[in-house]
Structures are given as C-alpha cells and as structure tokens.
Structure 1
C-alpha cells in the first residue's frame, strides 16, 4: 500500500487505515471492533472519529486505497506486453504473487462485500463498481485488439468469460487453499482466446 505523507494530519489517518487493512483482512469486518482498531493504531478515539465518522466510512476508505494500489499494479503489468495472451498471463501472475504475499485469503473486495447482506450497502456498491472497472480494463486493455475483429456480442461474451475465469480463480484458490484453480483458469482463458480467432477447434 502507498503511504500518505508524514504530516501530523495524515499520519494518524494512515495508521488507522493500515491497521484496519490488516484486521479486516485477517479477522473480517464484523469481527473487528472500532476499539481494537483504535488501540492497535495508537490513535486517540477523538482522532479516529475526526477522520472516520463510522466504521463503514473507514471500510470504504480502505477499499479505495486498496483499489488504487491494486489497479495501478494491474495496469502496469498488462501494459508491459504486446499480445493479449501475454497480457492474460500477466494478470494471473498477479494472483500468484498475491497468494504468496497474503496467503490463500482470496479477494479482499469480495470478502468485504460478503459481510453485508443489504444489497444497497455502500460497501457492496463500491465492490460492484470495482469489479466492473476490472472487467472494463480486461475488455479495453487486455483484449483491445480483438474488438475490431469480432462482433460486439461475441467480443462482450469473450470479455465476460475471461473476466469471470480470472476473478473466480482467486476465490476458488481461497476455497481449496491450493494454486490449481488459478492454473486451470489461466489455461482456459488462453484456450478461449485462441478459439475466438479460430486457432483451435
């Protein structure tokens, strides 16, 4: 995660977000209390509420910061490659790196959304929007050269399928606590890509 500046105003806020990130990811949102976040971040209660009027506000701030960092890395990785197949492989390399760094904890966005049963929750709305942004990056930056070659419906179907394989693989890796769902999804994505150009039957 990026760090904010070292000014007296920004440092407590960043400590709160860093602490919440660790606790939300390890314990879950509902099992993490505000008092624990305050104690472990080393800030005063008044300082916490000055930055975050509620725990939900803190959760959204954490998701925004996580998205900024994740999206930057995602774009940098795929933009290094000239072919769609290599860009897809780069996408899955991110999952392998995330598994190594964070363990089989899955997707922080999906984990967070799963703790809110209300479909109108701002948390769930943010996660839906985040996932839509990921899907659009796959369509517009990973598969961009395929758009002109395919009918719009076929292209959208391809983008949806590759996005679903990619996003679902990290969840199944969490479920099985193994790498094989990521490996299987990568192979299936490459086959879909080849099939869309008639390279395989």
Structure 2
C-alpha cells in the first residue's frame, strides 16, 4: 500500500500524483497532461524523469512494491509460528481496505490495462507476484519445508498464496471484507490439516 507524506522533488510529486490518478481513474483514462498539471511540474521535467507514461507506471509499481514488501516483512517477522505469520500477512489486506477502500490490488488493476503479455508493465507485475509467492514460501511457511515432500510443500505454498492474493481481488469485486475473512480462515485450516496429518 502507498503511504503519503509531504513531498517536494518533481519525480516524487509525479509518482504520487500518478498513484492517486491511476487508482481513481485507471491507467488508460489518465493522461500525461493531467499528471503534469496536478503534480505541478513542467512538461520538460516530466519527460526528463519519465520518457513515457509506461515508464511512469513501472516506477510507481516498483515504489509501491518496495513499500508494501517492507511492511509485509516487518509484520510477518514479528511472529514465529506460521499461523500467526499468516494472520499478520492478512492484516495487510485489512489495512489496505481501510486506507484505500475496495480498490483491489494495484498490480492486478494495472496489468489488466495492458493486453499484450509482452508488456514491460505486465512483466513487472508477474515479477512482483512471484516475489510475494516466494516470500510466502521462505518467510511464512518455511517451518513446513522439512516436514513435507517437495511437491507437497510447493502445493501448500501455491494454495496459501492463491488464497491470499485472490482475497483482495474478490473484496474489490463484492465491495466487502468477507472474501478476506474466508481466505484467512481457509489458509489457517490448511495448516491445521497439515499438522493433523503429521501427528
């Protein structure tokens, strides 16, 4: 999620303005001239930092990922058990819903506006989602790695990651929190099932 703070440098103002407009209007409906006008920078300054709107989109996604992953790591890192780490992980969605409303995942929203799978923006989104899945494997479910087969562990990671990532999309779709609540419960039930099989 994005955190806002007083900013003065042109590049930061441009990204902050783009973040607000992309979320509110969508990428395709937001023009460069509007971004320039609302960020209060000169056109030459805009193009000095971002040769194209697509370059700006990628810069915004990368900044958003850096902030989001840092917060996720801090929350998850406070807990030792996988159950509590999953609860901490889902707290990101609850906070995002409170702060941004039912706008869903900024990465998924952005990817949906680019039809070509070869788009650098879609590649950026795929890379981000792969890093989130790897984070789930390495920092949320890692205690299960040595007690399961490699295939079983990968399947557990895929299911927990898919439940987590899909929850924010469905919360946007229904404009309610219950998809997040259901996905959290299902993720915890998965871990309970795995412990039951191991006992």
TM-score of Structure 1 vs Structure 2, range by shorter chain: over 0.9
How far apart are the structure 1 equivalents of 2:86 and 2:5? 32
Equivalent position SS for 1:197: helix
Partner of 1:162 in structure 2? 160
- Give the match for residue 12 of structure 1: 10
1:194, 1:5 → 2: CA distance?
Answer: 45
Partner of 1:106: 104
Indicate whether 1:64 and 2:62 are aligned: yes
State the match for 2:178 in structure 1.
180
1:197 to partner: Cα distance: 1.9
Gaps of 5+ in 1: none
Partner of 2:34: 36
Q: Secondary structure at the match of 2:139?
A: helix
* CA-based RMSD: 1.7
- 2-structure distance, mates of 1:28, 1:12: 22
TM-score (norm 1): 0.94
Displaced runs of 4 or more, over 6 A? 2-6
Per-residue CA deviations over 1:55-113 (Å, capped at 9, x if unaligned) read 00000000000000000000000010010000000111110000000000000000000
TM-score (norm 2): 0.95
Report deviation, 1:198. 1.7
Specify which of 174, 192, 197 is matched with residue 190 of structure 2.
Answer: 192
Offset at 1:4?
Answer: 9.8
SS of 2:41's partner is coil
Deviation at 1:172, TM superposition (A): 0.1
Q: Distance in 1 between matches of 2:197 and 2:167?
A: 24
Q: Which residue of 1 aligns with 2:146?
A: 148
Shift of 1:196: 1.4
Q: Which runs of 5 or more residues in structure 2 are unaligned?
A: none
The answer to whether the 8 A contact 1:5-1:11 is kept is: no
Shift in CA distance, 180/4, structure 1 to aligned 2, threshold 3 Å: closer
> Equivalents in 2 of 1:21, 1:5: separation in Å?
15
